Chains A and B, each alone.
Chain A
Amino acid sequence: MNSRVSAIASNTFREAVRDRVLYNLIGFAVLMAGAAILVGQISVDIEKLVVINLGLTAVSLFGVIIAIFIGIGLVSKEIDKRTLYTVLSRPVQRWEFILGKFFGLAGTLVVNTICMAAGVFLAMLYVTHKLQPSDASVLAALYFIVLQFLIVTSLALLFSSFSSPLLSAVFAFAVFVIGSFSGDLREFAGAQSGASHWVAMAAARIIPNFSGLNVISMVAHGEPVAANLIFANTAYTFFYAAMVLCAAVLIFERRNLK
């Protein structure tokens, strides 16, 4: 990665940290601790199931919210503060700027997730007193959650490159919600015929496939995650995020910064 992209990435990471984004980990820790203690009294005999479901759902939701809230400002904030002008007047290409911002936020989310993963495993340890080898599938679920973050980040960055923070937030949440139903959308498309079939299929393909990245329930029941699913999701995320970033670059390249 060239030095300008990594300079922008590390600056973005530093901004997130100094903006105290990582304080969300405190809220998460409190949530996990409370859940671990209470779950045994409320949900009979399925403590581990609930701890994993709750923990992974929280990791996913917290992260998506952070990705959207920071992502929507990645470009617009730099314009408001006029820092973008000082950056682009240097030998920095616009695409390098977009890539750097992406990696900076992605890196922040990865660090955040690693801390949260430790919290989830601690809670699991607390309720079951002993971890088993099959618990490694929880790591696979966490990895898929990180992949989900990469897609959400790229989308938030895309919206940030051309619209205001408020609109970007609305678009990003909308895409997240629809993406979680992508499985249902495909089924719906399959049931249609003619023109509506093609339209629905196209929509189902364009919308990010978050339902494919959600293996939380599976992992909570102790089932393993197939290796070829891991490869497929990794490749999917890479190409999808790359597609979105290309769109972001195309839009941003043409933008007149008034």
Chain B
Amino acid sequence: MSAIEILGIEKTYSVGFWRKRPKCALKPLHLQVEEGEVFGFLGPNGAGKTTTLKLLMGLMYPTAGTAKILGMEIGDPRMKAQIGFLPEQPYFYDYLTAAELLNYYGRLSGVPAKELPQRIAAVLDRVGLAANGDVQLRKFSKGMLQRAGIAQAILHDPKVIFLDEPMSGLDPMGRREVRDLMSQLKQEGKTVFFSTHILSDAEALCDRVGVIYQGELRAVGSVADLTAKVHGKTELTWQGAIPASLKALSADAKVNGDTARIVIDEAQLDSTIDTLRRERCRLISVNPVRGTLEEYFLQHMNSSNPGSAPLPKSKNIESSQGASA
């Protein structure tokens, strides 16, 4: 059983006051996330990430399609007892203290009253708010609010945790803390599904990512696979001078002491190595310079051509996955 199974869920609104025009926020989405995975849902603002999360949480109703979490339909209270959710930029009840907030949420999640106090203390400690348990949330900084948010998401020890832009608005230290928390959750075997438009975070944390753009899922796979799709570059270093022919190839060639270095497209790798051998340059290293998701985005997202990038299948997913967008 997958932790999350999204089976063609879609959402269309009608906008406009007099003449209603349909607007598609999310095209039919098919996605599976396995237990224990950390899945990053990537896309620029307005791509449909929050819409997807809201549909999964039952805050919005899909126009078509269904989804299952831990094998149960969305909206099933038994399912909801086993998930945690952190919405984007939450304010929470600013007149409550952190402990009171968690107490409230704990009661709503059905945590037994006897266990609540210890759970609250443990969770506050875990997110680093142990000292601020009795401070009113209105006095919390952004980073503290975010940590409180994670606290309420994990308080009832859920199996799947959904986070909407968990890093947004945080300073680097805050982001580091949240990232560490998320790694810990992974180590505990929890499934984490989070959305972000910050690619470096996804790269650091995720087992797999899904890329969504203009309401459509464009790619799913491990970061490595996706960045491999970025036309990668290779870095070559060798001893000796730069042959003339190579200079023409790339203006990038540099000389450091007696080591020369050049970065070229993968496609030109073979011909460059041949050239260096002919010139009798001594090869020191050949390193692939991995493309980043950034570059993947820039390369693929500019095409507003739906379905232009076929879903590269990762080696660890079963091909029971549905048809592409």
The answer to whether A and B touch in the complex, with CB atoms under 8 Å apart, is: yes
Q: What residues of chain A have their CB less than 8 Å away from a CB belonging to chain B?
A: 3-4, 7-8, 11, 14-15, 18-19, 80-93, 254, 256-258
What is the CB-to-nearest-CB distance from A85 to chain B, in angstroms, rounded to a whole number?
4
A-B residue pairs in contact (CB < 8 Å), sample of 6 = A11-B104, A81-B93, A85-B85, A88-B59, A90-B109, A92-B80
Contacts A83-B93, A87-B108 aside, 16 further interface pairs with beta carbons under 8 A come to: A4-B107, A11-B104, A81-B90, A81-B91, A82-B90, A85-B59, A85-B90, A86-B87, A88-B57, A89-B59, A90-B105, A91-B80, A91-B109, A92-B108, A93-B77, A257-B60
What is the CB-to-nearest-CB distance from A138 to chain B, in angstroms, rounded to a whole number?
34
What is the CB-to-nearest-CB distance from B49 to chain A, in angstroms, rounded to a whole number?
14
With a CB–CB cut-off of 8 A, which chain A residues contact B94? Answer: 81
With a CB–CB cut-off of 8 A, which chain B residues contact A258? Answer: 60
B247 within 8 A of A: no
Q: How many A-B residue pairs have CB under 8 A?
A: 85
User: In the complex the two chains form, is A91's CB within 8 Å of B152's CB?
Assistant: no
Bound complex: CA of A173 vs CA of B62, how far in Å? 36
Most buried by B among A11, A86, A91, A257: A86
Bound complex: CA of A87 vs CA of B94, how far in Å? 15
Most buried by B among A11, A92, A257: A11
Q: A14-B96, A19-B95, A92-B108 are in contact. Are A85 and B77 (CB under 8 A)?
A: no
With a CB–CB cut-off of 8 A, which chain B residues contact A92? Answer: 80, 108
With a CB–CB cut-off of 8 A, which chain A residues contact B107? Answer: 3-4, 7
What is the CB-to-nearest-CB distance from B33 to chain A, in angstroms, rounded to a whole number?
17
8 Å CB contact of A85 from B57, B61, B83: B57
What is the CB-to-nearest-CB distance from A89 to chain B, in angstroms, rounded to a whole number?
4
With a CB–CB cut-off of 8 A, which chain B residues contact A256? Answer: 59-61
8 Å CB contact of A15 from B54, B85, B93: B93
Bound complex: CA of A41 vs CA of B83, how far in Å? 67
Q: Which residue of A lies closest to B86 (CB)?
A: A86
| CB-CB nearest 10 A-B residue pairs | A91-B77, A89-B85, A18-B95, A7-B107, A81-B91, A85-B87, A91-B80, A89-B57, A256-B60, A257-B59
With a CB–CB cut-off of 8 A, which chain B residues contact A82? Answer: 87-91
